[in-house]
Amino acid sequence: MSDYEVPKVWEWNKDEENAFGNQPVAGSRFEQTLPVGENSLQVYSLGTPNGQKVAIMLEELKEAGKKSAEYDLYKIHIGEGDQFGSDFVKINPNSKIPAMMDYSKDKPIRVFESVNILLYLAEKFDSFIPKTLAEKTEMMNWLFWQTGAAPYVGGGFGHFYSYAPTKQEYPINRFTMETKRQLDLLDRHLADKDYINGDEYTIADMAIWPWYGRLVQGELYGDAATFLKAEEYTHLKEWADRVGERPAVKRALEVEYKDIK
């Protein structure tokens, strides 16, 4: 039971402890100059699941011999608020990693939202994206699904199970229910295929693996895999191990993020 009473109008209590630096306003909070390296692709990111998606794709492109997929990768320390600096906000007004600039064009292109970065790179390099409309649409189904579904896992389950200062049954139950439903969905989908799109490894695998693959491999949120009985999702676990064995994926998890300061 909680003694919290919902007020008629919510007011921001600036003094309340807030480990994540959240504020109810968007926009930049301070002047910042981000470094720009030698390559045309400049990535401002971090080794979180959303950041890993982009590192995996860039390493896969390099593995596939795409020379112009060389990139500079910078660390945006979200715990220190780097995502609210003026230069980062110019690239991603939503102040979330990952974000990317492509300087290979006359007018540089900014790209934000992890899955949009995957799509941009897949189209630019004509790689890891199906050729037929039917196959591409099936891949897009899963990309959009991932974008809408992962906040339940990261922002919901992970937050209340792992990060919240007090452990509360109601939100943990609510988000565990949905997270397990999503794991079951993927397990059923992968029962008769090697990859999300069937035989073809695509950016849908790269988008989904850092969240759901890593979760069933026991790599996210402490002992969450035990809590969620992840071993029951056998097809999902096999897929997670299959993708995790790829050299580019292994490299992406260990890639160095350069300092911005």
Ligand X SMILES: N[C@@H](CCC(=O)N[C@@H](CS)C(=O)NCC(=O)O)C(=O)O
Give the strand order in the sheet containing 109-112. 71-75, 41-45, 99-102, 109-112
Determine the Cα–Cα distance for residues 238 and 12; give it in Å rounded to an integer. Answer: 46
CB of 149 closer than 8 Å to CB of 175:
no
Among residues 95 and 202, whose Cβ is nearest to ligand X?
A: 95
| Interface stretch with ligand X, choices 31-39, 57-65, 107-115, 160-168 (CB under 6 A) | 107-115
The smaller minimum CB distance to ligand X, of residues 127 and 147, is found at: 147
* Residue 52 binds ligand X (CB under 6 A): no
Q: How far is the CB of 48 from ligand X (least distance, A)?
A: 4
For residue 158, CA distances in Å to 19, 43, 152, 154, 166 come to 15, 25, 8, 5, 13
Residue pair 121/178 in contact by the 8 Å Cβ criterion:
no
CB 47 to ligand X: min, Å:
9
CB 191 within 8 A of CB 205: no
CB of 195 vs ligand X, minimal distance in Å = 20
Closest CA to 207 of 117, 75, 133, 135: 117
**What is the footprint of ligand X within residues 142-201 (CB under 6 A)?**
147
* Given 55, 61, 97, 206, the residue binding ligand X (CB under 6 A): 97
Q: Which of 57, 58, 61, 78 binds ligand X (CB under 6 A)?
A: 78
| Residue 83 sits in the site that holds ligand X (CB under 6 A) | yes
32 lies in the site for ligand X, by CB under 6 A: no
Pick the binder of ligand X from 66, 96, 242, 251 (CB under 6 A).
96
Q: CA–CA distance from 238 to each of 30, 31, 81, 130, 211 (Å)?
A: 45, 46, 37, 23, 15
CA 86 – CA 11 distance, rounded (Å): 26
**Cβ-based nearer residue to ligand X, 115 or 224:** 115
- CA dist., res. 254 & res. 52, Å (int): 10
Q: Is 45 in the site for ligand X (CB under 6 A)?
A: no
Residue at token pair 């799109």: 197
Per CB under 6 A, which region of 109-117, 123-131, 135-143, 169-177 contacts ligand X?
A: 109-117
28 binds ligand X (CB under 6 A): no
100 binds ligand X (CB under 6 A): no
The type of residue at 31 is: E
Work out which of 34, 42, 43, 50 binds ligand X, going by CB under 6 A.
Answer: 50
Q: Does 114 bind ligand X (CB under 6 A)?
A: yes
- Residue 96 or 242: the one with the smaller Cβ distance to ligand X is 96
Instruction: Tell me the site size for ligand X, rule CB under 6 A.
Output: 12
How many other β-carbons are positioned within 10 Å of the β-carbon of residue 144?
13
Which residues of this protein are in contact with ligand X, per CB under 6 A? 48, 50, 78, 83, 95-98, 113-115, 147
